[in-house]
Structure 1
Amino acid sequence: MSEHTLRHVEDSIAKTHSGDKEQLEAIFSDDGRLIVEAPAGYGKTKTMISKIAYILASGKLPNPKKILALTFSVNAAYKIKKDVAEQLPKLLESGNFNLDRINEKVFIKNYHGFCRHVLKLYGYLIHENLRNIDIFRSIDDSDIETMTNLGVGLTYEDAKELSDLTDAIKDVRGKYINENLKSYLGKVKNHLLPNNYITYNSIILFIIQLFIEYPELLKFYHQYFPIIIVDEFQDTNIINYALLSRLVSEPTKAIFIGDPLQRIYGFIGAVPNLMDIAKEKFGMQEIKLKKNYRFKDNPKMILLDKNIRLNAENHSDPDISEYAPIDLNIFENQTKEAEWIRKKIQDIIKEDEFVKVAVLVRSRSRNVQKIINSLENGGVDYFYGLYSDENEFYIKFHQNCMNIFADHIKGSNRITKLNLRKFYNKVEKAYEGQSTPEIQSLFDLLKIFLDRLTAEYNFLTNEDKINFILDTFENRALKQQMEYVDKNVILSTVHGAKGLEWDYVIMPDMEQYGFPNYYSLCGSCNYKHNRIRNGFCQLVYDKKIERQFLEELSVFYVAVTRARKDIFFSSSNRRIHYSGAERDTYVSCLLSLPGIET
């Protein structure tokens, strides 16, 4: 590309980003190692795509090398792939950058998708059957009972060993993983692979083993991917990070993008303080995006976003210059709170029949059931999305879908509307007679996903479509389709809502032992680090509970930033204990943080 054309592309990118200083610094920086802090709504994806465009336009990627773009979630990987396919030709103003050309230059996957791809090519070095990994049945390596009943020779002790290593990944216990990795992979290789089974974590661990045992293969990938970009970096777990650390060699240019305040997957192993760790380990220049585009016309929400982040930066004495007013409604009991939520939703819908409202909760509880009862009694149609990554029915549904799909594509692997309909019918048959709200809502998400695959993602190759389906089931990612549900009202957990947006968000049960709940911050505090003032629980900062506070603040921040227009909070003076008894309670400490005005 000529110097004149490059200047034209630079001008086009600068115009696209409206002169945003920090975004343009991240895009045009010649520094080989960048770590970019990108809060929700600050233009992260747009910056990432422009960075890729600039790399290609400036000739910084030699032929026939590729940029490797990795993400934590499946949905993010394929959304970026879609955005790159749509936006790159516009930014480069070149018809030469069609989909085939983009695929020659950029390889976009989530961690598991990347490892599955490598195993399909080189897994035969471990076991011949891995050539056909697409038809393998995926096994949850925390499910001891299922593993011992597969009939493949795994004893209870064997299955427990596999499960224990999964727990070590969740607990970020690197020493235990290193000491037991060889034995873990040996059991998977000897018992599962010959029978076309594979565990979720072994997909990544086998690649780490391959790179250790075949350094020439690792060297090939070092040369093949001289530039690595990672999105959602804060959610990277310990084995993903071990993989990434091997992929980054001394000459590798690396750009890690994330937001430490959106790290809400600590319970499944996201490494604490990872952005700080990586910055030091890889010698990275730090850039912080500063402009909030999601709330650019909403000063109230911008201020709330800013003040929550200031509490994260300095827990004991945040630098607050102006308080953010919030809409908080406090009720006598849970029944009255639930009635208000229903009426609030009805009022919002009356103003705009196409509006989207999400009711986001910390977790499923007796209090949430009151909301469900009120919605149903009031005739409010809603989508049930109270999923957690650890719900048994949610895990099993994805496993069943994956196994049915693996069997289905043995007959015909052409991804067409008709073939996907046949697959969907097979899943329906497997769940015949089961009509719980949870199962029905998962079928709704499955249908949305399959429909979008043949519409919005029809540009993908057939192999990419197969991988998209497998990645979605393997990573239990159907909940990411909730944003496309054709209903005004979504009832979801905050964890299920990450990465999604709605016009309005209602956050109920903002009270002690509700949000936060006992298992997050309240159990650790236990009245030792708080004081009660005017019915509000106020947290007294203490280093002993810093980790729990930051994790809960992250969940709170993610919930708040799911709203495009506004957010409403509610709480009760009495909560329903898990035993069913009512107990007095106080407004959540999160709503009495410095910088929040009720």
Structure 2
Amino acid sequence: MLSKFEPSEIEEKIKALHCNDEKQLEVIFSQAKKLIVEAPAGYGKTKTMISKIAYMLASNQVKNPKKILALTFSVNAAYKIKKDVAEQLPKLLQTKESYFIKHQDNLFISNYHGFCRHILKLYGYLLHETLRNIDTLKTFDDSKQEDLNQITKLGYDQYKIFIDYNKAVKDCNETYIEKNFETYVREVKEKILNRQYIPFNAIILLILELFRKYPNILEFYKNYFPTVIVDEFQDTNILSWTLLKKIISNDSRVIFIGDSLQRIYGFIGAIPKLMREAEVKYNMEIITLTKNYRFKDNPEMLQLDKNLRLNAENIQNPTIDKNAEIIFFNLTNQLEEAKKIIDIIKDLQNNHLADSCKIALLVKNRGKNIDKILKVLQENKIAYFYGLFSDEEYDYLKFHKECSLLFIEHLKKVHVISQKTLSKLYDTISESIFLKENKEKLTLQSLMKLLKVFFYRINTEYNFLSFEDKIIFIRDTFENNALKQNMEYLDENVIVATIHGAKGLEWDYVIMPDMEQYSNPSFQGLCKNCNYRNNNCNIQIDPNNETKFLEELSVFYVGVTRARRQIFFSASNTRINYQAVEKSANISCLLKLPGIKLNNDN
């Protein structure tokens, strides 16, 4: 045991820590073999998870040498859990940090790809000799024809298998994935690995091949990890889900934590209705956290959170007992809207110490309307961070790729990850040909700022990590294109970003501008095929648009729940279309959902 406390003493400490929150404590003390935890944003998910792990360790539920396996979708989330575990467990167990570190072998915390890399490093040589050196292999996205052509030196027809397979993963096409599995793995082994590269999807697929060819290894890991905890479960794609189903046995203790309403990565393969699928497959018990701590001091925000979730639960006829009155500004045109946003920012900053007021402007997509707001911000000399890059943007992807390649070269020269070595790596990246040739681009300037913050955090917040863990954290961040997850820690007090880029982050105040048709929701998202956009955007939900509506509602909900204190919405009677032509606009249908009352404070 990690502590001299009796289980009852630990239970009392946990009850006090969680202020006797009934549902959180039910999760922590539950002995269910298969458990789903529905955890909306701000309901204490991470705190509950850490205490669950602490209680399992303290009550000797994990016998040496076995471990708890904790997996998550994003790199940032995985390492945040590691950080919270390292900080909170010693306090909860009243043991010295060094003593805890000595026993933290009872835990393995990673994202899916990090977990698979760990196994390939040990056993990958059974599939291909090159996998002995997986840490030095260069990773690439299977969908990029330019990369595939450069790496394989083959024609389109010969590397089309990679492109088609990646599309099948994004489309959750299980039939295609299973049918072409052996072909894909063979092509990776014969045409990619010898060139010192590994496709991103192959990191998981090679593990599935390893388990298929060597069932004894699979059985080892099933026994080695008798407890499997998955955070952000709603974002799991078909490859990760296949992996989970392999390592989970009838005897496994399984805890899936997530929120169906925060599933906003469907466009890159997050499986629809996965929580329900898992519930049925494993006959899982469900516990839903019920107290919103993020908005506990703001009744209107609490009501807004509740009503948005009710709209998702019953699309046709949500049971709303009370409207949420939101702060909304409707201006005559885009310029006036921009000026109003400046006023909001100045008022917020005047009412707080400058360095204690963090504000985010969150939009659905980059476009002409947000460009107008950026121009007015500049004219008013309001410093802001530009975070309007997308996951598919060439410069965003290319920057991470350059960082990854240079980091691999850097590792050949250093044996420690320190402030000095990371500073040298930062200089190397800034002096690279790609950066020099494109130094005027806003996206790359912003990414260099995020890189600096990330390296600083490695040597401060995450200094407790071992040398190997730091290497994995840095490499995984580059390979997963995850530098955007550091936006929350920038010095700038005003951040302008997309809602997708802000997932998992928080700010004191959030402003969601351009709440008009074709902006939020966007033309591609919902407006394109809507029959009601000329009828004041009062959408009617039917079987044809239900799926799209839920996707847009999820993005809207994630935007709302990035605010710690308050959210402001704005719109204008005109919008600027993609041709830079001013057109009349309707207020977004998302602001007309049942349970939302507009407080139009023009």
The alignment's TM-score, normalised by the length of structure 1, stands at: 0.97
- Higher mean C-alpha displacement, 424-433 vs 546-555: 424-433
Q: How far apart are residue 98 of structure 1 and its match?
A: 3.3
> What is the match of residue 215 of structure 1?
215
> What is the match of residue 363 of structure 1?
365
> What is the match of residue 55 of structure 2?
54
Asked if the contact 2:136–2:408 (Cα under 8 Å) also holds between the matched residues in 1, the reply is yes
Cα distance in 2, alignment partners of residues 477 and 450 from structure 1: 13
Cα distance in 2, alignment partners of residues 341 and 98 from structure 1: 51
Asked if the contact 1:529–1:542 (Cα under 8 Å) also holds between the matched residues in 2, the reply is no
> What is the match of residue 406 of structure 1?
408
Structure 2 counterparts to residues 179-258 of structure 1, below 5 A: 179-258=179-258
List gaps (5 residues or longer) in structure 2.
none
> What is the match of residue 128 of structure 1?
129
Residue 428 (structure 1) aligned with residue 430 (structure 2):
yes
Cα distance in 2, alignment partners of residues 131 and 441 from structure 1: 36
Asked if the contact 2:330–2:570 (Cα under 8 Å) also holds between the matched residues in 1, the reply is yes
> What is the match of residue 80 of structure 2?
79
Cα distance in 1, alignment partners of residues 83 and 350 from structure 2: 35
> What is the match of residue 38 of structure 2?
37
Residue 448 (structure 1) aligned with residue 450 (structure 2):
no
> What is the match of residue 98 of structure 1?
99
Cα distance in 2, alignment partners of residues 97 and 544 from structure 1: 58
Residue type of the partner of 2:221? Y
SS of residue matched to 1:505: strand
Residue type of the partner of 1:21? E
SS of residue matched to 2:544: helix
Cα distance in 2, alignment partners of residues 573 and 39 from structure 1: 33
Asked if the contact 1:531–1:539 (Cα under 8 Å) also holds between the matched residues in 2, the reply is no
Tell me the alpha carbon deviations over residues 230-287 of structure 1, each in whole angstroms, 9 at most, x when there is no partner: 0000000111101111010111000000000000000000000000000111111000
SS of residue matched to 2:192: helix
> What is the match of residue 513 of structure 1?
518
Cα distance in 1, alignment partners of residues 476 and 100 from structure 2: 21
Asked if the contact 2:360–2:494 (Cα under 8 Å) also holds between the matched residues in 1, the reply is yes
Cα distance in 2, alignment partners of residues 214 and 69 from structure 1: 23
Cα distance in 2, alignment partners of residues 330 and 359 from structure 1: 16
Residue type of the partner of 1:31? A
2:381 to 372, 375, 379: 379
Tell me the alpha carbon deviations over residues 359-398 of structure 1, each in whole angstroms, 9 at most, x when there is no partner: 0000100111101111111111000011221111111111
Tell me the alpha carbon deviations over residues 207-228 of structure 1, each in whole angstroms, 9 at most, x when there is no partner: 1111111110000000100000
SS of residue matched to 1:490: strand
Asked if the contact 1:153–1:191 (Cα under 8 Å) also holds between the matched residues in 2, the reply is no
Residue 138 (structure 1) aligned with residue 128 (structure 2):
no
Residue 495 (structure 1) aligned with residue 500 (structure 2):
yes
Tell me the alpha carbon deviations over residues 551-581 of structure 1, each in whole angstroms, 9 at most, x when there is no partner: 1000000000000111110111111111221
Cα distance in 2, alignment partners of residues 99 and 72 from structure 1: 26
Tell me the alpha carbon deviations over residues 455-514 of structure 1, each in whole angstroms, 9 at most, x when there is no partner: 111100000000000110111110000000001100000000011000100000100001
Asked if the contact 2:38–2:289 (Cα under 8 Å) also holds between the matched residues in 1, the reply is yes
Cα distance in 1, alignment partners of residues 207 and 154 from structure 2: 23
Cα distance in 1, alignment partners of residues 265 and 82 from structure 2: 24
Q: How far apart are residue 100 of structure 1 and its match?
A: 2.6
Asked if the contact 1:127–1:189 (Cα under 8 Å) also holds between the matched residues in 2, the reply is yes
- Over the aligned positions, Cα root-mean-square deviation in angstroms equals 1.4
Q: How far apart are residue 102 of structure 1 and its match?
A: 4.2
Q: How far apart are residue 339 of structure 1 and its match?
A: 1.6
Q: How far apart are residue 524 of structure 1 and its match?
A: 3.0
Residue type of the partner of 2:108? F
> What is the match of residue 331 of structure 1?
331
Asked if the contact 1:85–1:98 (Cα under 8 Å) also holds between the matched residues in 2, the reply is no
Tell me the alpha carbon deviations over residues 388-413 of structure 1, each in whole angstroms, 9 at most, x when there is no partner: 21111111111110011011111224
Asked if the contact 2:384–2:494 (Cα under 8 Å) also holds between the matched residues in 1, the reply is yes
List gaps (5 residues or longer) in structure 1.
none
- Higher mean C-alpha displacement, 553-562 vs 575-584: 575-584
SS of residue matched to 1:256: strand
Asked if the contact 2:90–2:100 (Cα under 8 Å) also holds between the matched residues in 1, the reply is no
Cα distance in 2, alignment partners of residues 413 and 131 from structure 1: 19
Residue type of the partner of 1:416? S
Cα distance in 2, alignment partners of residues 524 and 34 from structure 1: 39
Asked if the contact 2:517–2:533 (Cα under 8 Å) also holds between the matched residues in 1, the reply is no
- Higher mean C-alpha displacement, 470-479 vs 93-102: 93-102
Identity %: 53
Asked if the contact 1:88–1:97 (Cα under 8 Å) also holds between the matched residues in 2, the reply is no
1:522 to 522, 527, 537: 527
Asked if the contact 1:531–1:540 (Cα under 8 Å) also holds between the matched residues in 2, the reply is no
Asked if the contact 2:312–2:553 (Cα under 8 Å) also holds between the matched residues in 1, the reply is yes
Q: How far apart are residue 54 of structure 1 and its match?
A: 1.0
2:477 to 461, 472, 475: 472
SS of residue matched to 1:476: coil
Q: How far apart are residue 96 of structure 1 and its match?
A: 7.5
Cα distance in 2, alignment partners of residues 423 and 208 from structure 1: 35
Q: 1:348 to 1:384 in 2, by over 3 A?
A: same
Q: How far apart are residue 155 of structure 1 and its match?
A: 2.3
Residue type of the partner of 2:492? K
1:390 to 385, 389, 392: 392
Cα distance in 1, alignment partners of residues 100 and 80 from structure 2: 15
Residue type of the partner of 1:266? G
Cα distance in 2, alignment partners of residues 57 and 293 from structure 1: 26
Q: How far apart are residue 97 of structure 1 and its match?
A: 7.0
SS of residue matched to 2:6: helix
Asked if the contact 1:89–1:95 (Cα under 8 Å) also holds between the matched residues in 2, the reply is yes
Cα distance in 2, alignment partners of residues 109 and 4 from structure 1: 29
Cα distance in 2, alignment partners of residues 141 and 96 from structure 1: 42
Q: 1:97 to 1:317 in 2, by over 3 A?
A: farther
Residue type of the partner of 2:262? Q
SS of residue matched to 1:419: helix
Q: How far apart are residue 164 of structure 1 and its match?
A: 1.2
Cα distance in 1, alignment partners of residues 66 and 377 from structure 2: 55
Residue type of the partner of 1:378? N
SS of residue matched to 2:52: helix
Q: How far apart are residue 165 of structure 1 and its match?
A: 0.9
Structure 2 counterparts to residues 226-375 of structure 1, below 5 A: 226-352=226-352, 353-354=354-355, 355-375=357-377
Cα distance in 1, alignment partners of residues 568 and 388 from structure 2: 19
Asked if the contact 1:333–1:573 (Cα under 8 Å) also holds between the matched residues in 2, the reply is yes
Q: 1:96 to 1:381 in 2, by over 3 A?
A: closer
Residue type of the partner of 1:120? K
Cα distance in 2, alignment partners of residues 544 and 580 from structure 1: 31
Cα distance in 1, alignment partners of residues 181 and 146 from structure 2: 21
Tell me the alpha carbon deviations over residues 168-208 of structure 1, each in whole angstroms, 9 at most, x when there is no partner: 11111111111112112222211211111011111111111
Q: How far apart are residue 531 of structure 1 and its match?
A: 6.8
Cα distance in 1, alignment partners of residues 217 and 154 from structure 2: 31
Structure 2 counterparts to residues 104-183 of structure 1, below 5 A: 104-150=105-151, 152-183=152-183
Q: How far apart are residue 139 of structure 1 and its match?
A: 1.2
SS of residue matched to 1:559: helix
SS of residue matched to 1:122: helix
Asked if the contact 1:279–1:285 (Cα under 8 Å) also holds between the matched residues in 2, the reply is yes
